[in-house]
Every structure is written in structure tokens, then in C-alpha cells.
């Protein structure tokens, strides 16, 4: 049996075996490097994944299955995109009456002529309907809820509380 083995275990085979082992070791080291680099770029705790990657083959497979789906750069880009969209939404809205797209400083809806904003009587800037005072020049807004409250009928002579008889 040992004779057969020594016959099979030729120097050529030994060399080939060595090459295969070296290649496997290089592949193993590269896989660890890749996992650490990828985990770092994805903004995860790369040192934990480095320990996982030390398990030959299984570590890399586990990382491929469980790694976070987005690269850190992609995530930053997505966050930027969302912020940009939110800013656009702030600038452009919809008419509450007809749904026509309107810009933030529109005073009237161009489609159904609904009043979207009040105009300041003094500086003529567009004001939100809920504002009771102009934030630019501190002038109270005419027709604002506060003003309406003041317009309530004041107790006149007829409505004065009468002494009970």
C-alpha cells in the first residue's frame, strides 16, 4: 500500500499539490481582504465581518448572504436624493381645491383661481393663509383668523347683561 502511495506521490504531483495549496491560501487571504473592504465600504462593523471571514469558505458565503444591501456611497446618494425631493415638494405643491401643481409663492391657483396665499397689505409679500401677521414687516394680516375673531359683534346696549328681575 505504501509502495503504491510512493509510486503515485511523484515529484510532479507534489509540485502540483503545492501550487493548489498556495492558490487556495491566496484565495483565502484575498477573500478576507475583500470582505473587510466591502464591509468597510458598506459602513458596517468590518472587524466583526473580518472574524467571520476567517472561517474558510463559509465565512465568505455567510458575508455574501448577510451583508447590508447598500454601499455607503449609494446610501449617501439616496439620502441626498430624498432631501432634494423634499425640498422640491416644499417649493412645489398642489392646489387644495383642484390639485393643480402650484409653486410655493403663488398667490392664486392658475387653474381654479382659489386664493392660496394672502398678500401683505404693506410689503405685498405672499403669506400663508394661517399666518396672522406678516413675518417680513410685522403688519397684522387683514382677514386672518385673529382679525375675524376681533370682528365678532361686540356686546352693544341691547346685549348688555340685564339685572335679574
Q: Is 115 in the site for Zn ion (CB under 5 A)?
A: no
Of 81, 91, 19, 75, nearest in space to 43 by CA: 75
Nearer to Zn ion, 111 or 150 (CB): 111
Q: What share of the chain is helix, strand, coil (3-state, %, to 5)?
A: 50, 10, 40
Q: Is 33 in the site for Zn ion (CB under 5 A)?
A: no
Quote the least distance from Cβ 124 to Zn ion, whole Å.
Answer: 7
Q: Is 108 in the site for Zn ion (CB under 5 A)?
A: no
Q: Is 136 in the site for Zn ion (CB under 5 A)?
A: yes
Cα dist. 152→145, 148, 158 in Å? 11, 7, 15
Grid coordinates representing 112?
381654479
Nearer to Zn ion, 130 or 158 (CB): 130
Q: Is 137 in the site for Zn ion (CB under 5 A)?
A: yes
The number of angstroms, rounded, from the C-alpha of 118 to the middle of its chain's C-alpha atoms is 33
Number of residues that bind Zn ion (CB under 5 A): 15
Say how far apart CA 161 and CA 34 lie, in whole Å: 87
Of 133, 138, 99, nearest in space to 116 by CA: 99
Nearer to Zn ion, 43 or 121 (CB): 121
Grid coordinates representing 49?
465581518
**Span interacting with Zn ion, options 9-17, 60-68, 72-80, 132-140, rule CB under 5 A:** 132-140
Quote the least distance from Cβ 123 to Zn ion, whole Å.
Answer: 3
Binding interface with Zn ion (CB under 5 A): 95, 97-98, 100, 109, 111-112, 114, 120, 122-123, 134, 136-137, 139
Amino acid at each position: 500500500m505504501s509502495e503504491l502511495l510512493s509510486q503515485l506521490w511523484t515529484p510532479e504531483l507534489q509540485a502540483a499539490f503545492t501550487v493548489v495549496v498556495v492558490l487556495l491560501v491566496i484565495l483565502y487571504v484575498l477573500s478576507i481582504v475583500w470582505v473587510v473592504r466591502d464591509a468597510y465600504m458598506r459602513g458596517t462593523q468590518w472587524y466583526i465581518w473580518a472574524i467571520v471571514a476567517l472561517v474558510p469558505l463559509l465565512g465568505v458565503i455567510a458575508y455574501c448572504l448577510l451583508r447590508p444591501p447598500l454601499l455607503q456611497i449609494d446610501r449617501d446618494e439616496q439620502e441626498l436624493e430624498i432631501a432634494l425631493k423634499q425640498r422640491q415638494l416644499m417649493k412645489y405643491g398642489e392646489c387644495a381645491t383642484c390639485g393643480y401643481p402650484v409653486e410655493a409663492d403663488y398667490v392664486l391657483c392658475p387653474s381654479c383661481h382659489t386664493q392660496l396665499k394672502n398678500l401683505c397689505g404693506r410689503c405685498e409679500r405672499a403669506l400663508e393663509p394661517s399666518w396672522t401677521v406678516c413675518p417680513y414687516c410685522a403688519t397684522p394680516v387683514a382677514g386672518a383668523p385673529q382679525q375675524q375673531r376681533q370682528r365678532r359683534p361686540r356686546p352693544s346696549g341691547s346685549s348688555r347683561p340685564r339685572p335679574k328681575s
